[in-house]
A and B are shown apart, each in its own frame.
Chain A
Amino acid sequence: MSAPKGRLAAQKWLITRRLSQLGFLMLFLSGPWFGLWIAKGNLTGSVTLDVLPLSDPFVILQSLAAGHIPATTALIGAAIVTVTYALIGGRVYCSWVCPINPVTDVAHWAHRRLNLPKGWQPARTTRLWLMVTVLAVSAATGTVAWEFVNPISLLHRGLVFGIGFGWTFVLAVFLFDLFVSRHGWCGHLCPVGAFYGQIGRKPVLRVSARARAVCDDCMDCFTVCPEPQVLTPALRGATGSTPLILSRDCTNCGRCIDVCDLDVFRFTHRFDATPAPGRVASKSRLTEPQP
């Protein structure tokens, strides 16, 4: 392994991301806590500074499936959110905004520290099936069905408006990710994340494994990545193939950038055509003679 980065540099995007998550929460909490109203409402619908309406497009879609045509404000809000995430990556919502992300991140950290088996690993497409199921249940019951159980809004609304027994749902997600299934909730089941992934099929903001030629197979990125299947085509691609992580599952969390001691990864845009030669096989630590 090459010389490790400084402690702070190795946490740069993680810290930025935590600040972002905290920041989005504080936008909503500054009102009820300090009387400073920036964003009113919660993640399913809000008004920022009394002018900017935002709505969760997945909630609006369920509402439509349930047979209600939302008023203009909600439709505009959903359109703004959709366009924004379509540009920066749908699942940026998951890693930079969603309040459940720190919960499952801590669960995964503990999961690794305890060296637990990865457990139940349903296919990554399960969440898409669940997303369709949620819409079907919305249509069948005439309700915004997922909002009855959605741990994201239970936690966020709970923190902003009062939580009741809502914390039990959050604890359930934590325990599920810790003991039952590695990356289970966000990586396999959450229909909200699946929906945002569908919005961001061709986002502009992407991570690139531009310096993949120097990769020494330490596997740190695969260990830390919540969606490790997205890394392989970019990192292990041959010269001529794109080093961009194009999978819609990628949450742009930047953890791979942080943990890589060789600075293989960086944020860029999807039109970035900087040449990135593939790896030279002999660089691999796996093939180096062991001392």
Chain B
Amino acid sequence: MPAPGFASSLDRRRFLTETARMAAGCAVAGTLLASFVSRAGALPATALRPPGALAEADFLAACSRCGLCVRDCPYDTLTLAVPGEDVAIGTPFFTAREIPCEMCEDIPCVAACPTGALDPGLTDIGDAKMGVAVLVDEEHCLNALGLRCDVCYRVCPVIDQAITLEMRHNPRSGHHAIFLPVVHAEFCTGCGKCEKSCVLPEATIKVLPLHLARGVASDHYRLGWEEMQDKGAPVVEGIVDLPDRLPGPGTDNLATPGGFAPEGAGDFAPAFKLPGGKP
């Protein structure tokens, strides 16, 4: 008895077999494509997306790989990934050590993007977050060794905000200073000029993607001193402020030898005395 819609049970059988063959073939092809896509879609740490690029997962859904951002980049910073490179084929990226982003004020790459893969909401290049510079190797950084290179600091387009030089004691010589380059992620756009201009054969300061460069504080963390400043009150209302526990008698506190001696400690004597004889 043939099923409705089919001339014979043989037709029905052929239809079902054909459909099953197609579906099976497509399942195989689709699985291969999906596994290739998920592998090829991983972005290496050295490849930076243009300013305003959506987060990588959203970017791969949005970018049509047309290359208009590449065409409108006045400094030839951006290129489209070709097969053989580790970046998703045809998507735009730049390598800071080769050609960094010059942070154009009119952001032509974002203006050129037809799909919104580069967020048109980015109107101030200072808000770009292409990555964050990290001083990855203090053992080789000339400034960290106590020399005055300062090049990364000088070339930074957001000098004294994104990179500052923090004066530290130089314990090696005992009487010199170290001017350590310190990156402040809040201001760093990830343009890569510091990495590009690091004078060493391999840069000691590198722009890394946000997810590698940054830790994340737990949602419930509150910094007491910031709360005090904002609210003028402790983070927990009605908190009992217990007296600070000061080092007491018997400790080896060199700053206040003898430490805190409560009333009625009697004839307690500290364990040792400073040279000069003061108690």
Binding site for B on A (CB under 8 A): 31, 40-42, 44-47, 53, 55-56, 59-60, 63, 66-71, 73-74, 77, 122-123, 125-126, 129-130, 132-134, 136-137, 140-149, 153-154, 157-158, 160-166, 168-169
Contact of A145 among B34, B57, B62, B90 (CB under 8 A): B34
Give Cα A153 to B63, complex, Å.
Answer: 14
Decide: B65 and A63 in contact? CB cutoff 8 A.
Answer: no
Task: Given A147-B89, A165-B82, verify A125-B22 contact (CB < 8 Å).
Answer: yes
Expressed in whole angstroms, the minimum distance between the Cβ of A208 and any Cβ of chain B is 32
Cβ of B66 < 8 Å from any Cβ of A?
yes
Residues of A contacting B90 with CB < 8 Å?
A: 44, 147, 153-154, 157
Interface bracket on B = 35 or more
Decide: B37 and A45 in contact? CB cutoff 8 A.
Answer: no
Give Cα A166 to B33, complex, Å.
Answer: 17
Residues of B contacting A158 with CB < 8 Å?
A: 82
Residues of B contacting A130 with CB < 8 Å?
A: 26, 29
Q: Closest 8 A-B residue pairs measured CB to CB?
A: A164-B82, A45-B66, A71-B116, A66-B61, A73-B114, A68-B61, A68-B62, A165-B84
Task: Given A45-B68, A74-B114, A161-B70, verify A148-B30 contact (CB < 8 Å).
Answer: no
Cβ of B60 < 8 Å from any Cβ of A?
yes
Expressed in whole angstroms, the minimum distance between the Cβ of B91 and any Cβ of chain A is 9
Instruction: List residues 40-76 of chain B with CB under 8 A from any CB of chain A.
Output: 40-41, 57-58, 60-68, 70-72
How many A-B pairs fall under 8 Å by CB? 162
Give Cα A228 to B163, complex, Å.
Answer: 67
Give Cα A67 to B41, complex, Å.
Answer: 16
Give Cα A144 to B30, complex, Å.
Answer: 13
Decide: A157 and B34 in contact? CB cutoff 8 A.
Answer: no
Decide: B80 and A162 in contact? CB cutoff 8 A.
Answer: yes
Contact of A133 among B18, B30, B114, B116 (CB under 8 A): B30
